Amino acid sequence: MSLFWSVIRQLAEIEAMATSKKVITRDEWEKKLNDVKIRKEDMNKLVMNFLVTEGYVDAAEKFRMESGTEPDIDLATITDRMAVKKAVQSGNVEDAIEKVNDLNPEILDTNPQLFFHLQQQRLIELIRNGKVKEALEFAQEELAPRGEENQSFLEELERTVALLAFEDVKNSPVSDLLDISQRLKTASEVNAAILTSQSHEKDPKLPNLLRMLLWAQNQLDEKAAYPRITDLFTATLEDPAI
């Protein structure tokens, strides 16, 4: 280490002491890290949970073989779930609804909001494909009655049919509905509902643990200066901040 950096570091330590913050050097911290035991099988489970929840069915199958980790859900159900998700993502909403009902009719029965959003997506697809007459019929017969049950449904419906009013939809205030992100939003809503119906968490655990790491580091910042990890991709320890 150059003299410059060691001086900077000393200054940092002095300053930290002045604010009565404890300073934990890299050596001390690494010792503490070494004392922490993380079990391999638990990490495997964490990775499996990610693959399964995110729907990487083939990878989950391979991972089961390569690591001997059992998935916490029947892998066959992932295939079905991903088929539904894919159908929504590619605009085949009718197909998706049918698939969900094949999987478990209760999902839509007990989840009126999800059902409405799927129907809304169906309407959006009809409009996208220029089927004006069909779209109007569908809106009036299928969606409007649902709107009576729920005020927010009605507002969303009105916003959606507004797509028909604009000749240049791309520059209209409702253009977001035609965006691919609207499909993804609906797809992830169905995905979550299916997972919940299978008594499975709708989000993988790993991202939450990463958020927890950032949070825990912030918490500890108040008490001590210590080597942090800011780059999650490389997990590199950085020297205590100045």
Partner 1 sequence: MVNESEGGQQEKDLVGSYFLELWRSKSKRAALSHTKDVEMMKLDDEGEELEEEEEPVPTELDTLNSSGGFSIVLPNKLSVQYPSVNLHGHDVGVVQANHPAPVKRLLYYFEIFVKNAGARGQIAIGFTTEGFHMRRQPGWEANSFGYHGDDGLLYRGQGKGEAFGPTYSTGDVVGGGINYTSNEFFFTKNGQVVGTVEKDVKGRLYPTVAVHSQSEEVVVNFGKDPFIFDIKVYEATFRAKQQEVIEKMVIPQTASYGIVRSYLQHYGYEETLNVFDEASQTSVPPITGIHDNGFDEYGVYALNHRKILRKLIKDGQIDEAFGKLREWYPDTVQDDTSAICVMLHCQKFIELIRVGQLEEAVDYGRSHLVKFYNFKEYEDIVKDTVGLMAYEDPKKSSVGYLLEDSQRENIADAVNALILSTNPQVKGQTSWLHSYLERLLKQLTACILEKRLSNGNQGEAFHLRRVLLANNI
Q: For residues 70 and 102, which CB has a smaller minimum distance to partner 1 in the complex?
A: 70
Pick from 25, 178, 202, 239 the residue near partner 1 by CB under 8 A.
Answer: 202
Q: Does 233 bind partner 1 (CB under 8 A)?
A: yes
Q: Does 209 bind partner 1 (CB under 8 A)?
A: yes
Report how far Cα 238 is from the mean position of its chain's Cα atoms. 29
Q: Find the binding residues for partner 1 in span 24-43 (CB under 8 A).
A: 24, 29, 32-33, 36-43
DSSP three-state, residue 225 = strand
Q: Does 109 bind partner 1 (CB under 8 A)?
A: no
| Cα distance between residue 21 and residue 64, in whole Å | 46
Q: Where are the alpha helices (DSSP H) in 129-179?
A: 132-138, 144-149, 151-165
How many CB atoms within 10 Å of residue 206? 14
| Cα distance between residue 139 and residue 152, in whole Å | 15
DSSP three-state, residue 238 = strand
User: Strand locations in the chain, DSSP E?
Assistant: 22-23, 224-225, 228-229, 237-238
Query: Residues near 147 by Cβ (< 8 Å), separated by ≥ 6?
Result: 153, 154, 157
Q: Does 4 bind partner 1 (CB under 8 A)?
A: no
Q: Does 76 bind partner 1 (CB under 8 A)?
A: no
Pick from 17, 142, 208, 238 the residue near partner 1 by CB under 8 A.
Answer: 208
Q: Does 56 bind partner 1 (CB under 8 A)?
A: yes
Q: Does 62 bind partner 1 (CB under 8 A)?
A: yes
Measured from the CB of residue 43, what is the shortest distance to partner 1 in angstroms? Answer: 6
Measured from the CB of residue 148, what is the shortest distance to partner 1 in angstroms? Answer: 31
Binding site for partner 1 (CB under 8 A): 22, 24, 29, 32-33, 36-43, 45-47, 49-51, 56, 58-59, 62-63, 65-68, 196, 199-202, 204-220, 223-224, 226, 229, 231-237
